[in-house]
């Protein structure tokens, strides 16, 4: 088993869930996972940061990339900050890391 990148951690209370720490960049040219940026994963979103629309777009992009339902991705920290933490149900930290980086 390969070590986990610093931006993802297993949920200690549920091995089938994990936490993902991201740096959001709203208003980008296109939606994409840009890659690691220090201890966070840089995520570019074309949606502007108005009325929580960028947060919803981030959840959709992460869910599609990992292969879980959109409802399985929940914003738990940073609703108005570029530094955000998402809780992802239905996938292990290792599986999520492989999907996000692979």
pLDDT in tens, 26-82: 999 999 999 999 999 999 999 999 999 999 999 999 999 999 999 999 999 999 999
pLDDT for 1 equals: 62
Q: Are strands 40-45 and 83-89 parallel, antiparallel or unpaired?
A: unpaired
- Do residues 18 and 90 touch, judged by C-beta distance below 8 A? no
Give the pLDDT confidence score for residue 52 in this predicted structure: 92
> Tokens for 60?
């959709």
What is the secondary structure of 6-35 as a DSSP string?
Answer: TTEEEETTEEEEEEEEEEEEET-SS-EEEE
Domain boundaries, the chain: 8-93
CATH number of this structure's domain 8-93 = 3.30.1200.10
């Amino acid at each position: 088993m390969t070590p986990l990148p610093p931006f993802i951690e297993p949920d200690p209370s549920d091995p089938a869930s994990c936490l993902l720490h991201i740096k959001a960049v709203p208003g980008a040219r296109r939606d994409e996972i840009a890659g690691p940026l220090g201890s966070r994963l840089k995520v570019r979103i074309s949606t502007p940061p108005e009325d929580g629309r960028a947060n919803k777009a981030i959840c959709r992009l992460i869910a599609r990339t990992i292969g879980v339902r959109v409802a399985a991705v929940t914003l738990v920290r940073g609703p108005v900050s570029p530094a955000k933490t998402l809780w992802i149900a239905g996938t292990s930290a290792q599986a999520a890391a492989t999907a996000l980086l692979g």
